[in-house]
Amino acid sequence: MTTAVRLENVRKRFGELEVLRGITVEAKEGEVVSILGSSGSGKSTMLRCINMLEIPSEGSVWVAGEEVKFGSTRGAVSRSVDTAQIDRLRSRIGMVFQSFNLWPHMTVLQNVIEAPVHVLKRPRSQSVEEAHALLEKVGIGDKANQYPAHLSGGQQQRAAIARALAMRPKLMLFDEPTSALDPELVGGVLRVMRSLAEEGTTMLVVTHEMSFARDVSSRVIFLHRGAIEEDGRPEDIFTQKSSPRFQQFLGR
């Protein structure tokens, strides 16, 4: 299988605090990789380095076989030197955040078509047609003309997933997509994600939903203090074959 994304010896520091400590990992096309770990273990920072919302302090990132070009200052990676490349690679990555991040002054439909029309320069009529299909796909086809404030949290998150899918991404990143939802709303979002996995969508998912990680993932990664403690198949990692630290995490 082709590699969708690869991180090699990625480190990320915020001042004296080192959040990622030499992360090396890759995901193949069609894989669903669940990323587990306690709060502060570096899970979200890892995703943000893939989407270039954070620039690694050291190390390399590849997206779809293409190395991201970073500049360096005194040996430490500090900034991108090719903004055109960053924009192009970001257009291949869909990201769904914990807090939805929908534009409140736009309807759901407007949220979904904004990037395809203005970033990818697709015809508006085509983008609208595809947006309606995506909203039906995620189960909120009747909410196209509603504003985000009039939707439940679960509906807003499904709208955010439709918005990310509208860019036809090669890779989907989910940063704790259900953690801000009431328990009764979690199931609807997870069903959409399961459907995407069944369709072969490449996904990296930071999650605390153990059933999703166990039943849907191709692989599970466990981060501890900015380093990968476990990386394996769910059927292996959710057994006594895994480390005592991961077993302790599951117990909590």
3-state SS, residue 94: strand
Task: Give 194-213 pLDDT, tens digit per residue.
Answer: 999 999 999 999 999 999 99
pLDDT above 60: residue 153:
yes
Task: Give 30-49 pLDDT, tens digit per residue.
Answer: 999 999 999 999 999 999 99
d(CA 31, CA 126): 29
70-73/93-96 β-pairing:
unpaired
d(CA 173, CA 171): 7
Whole-model pTM over 0.85 = yes
- The pLDDT value recorded for residue 78 is 54
- Rg of the chain, C-alpha, whole Å: 18
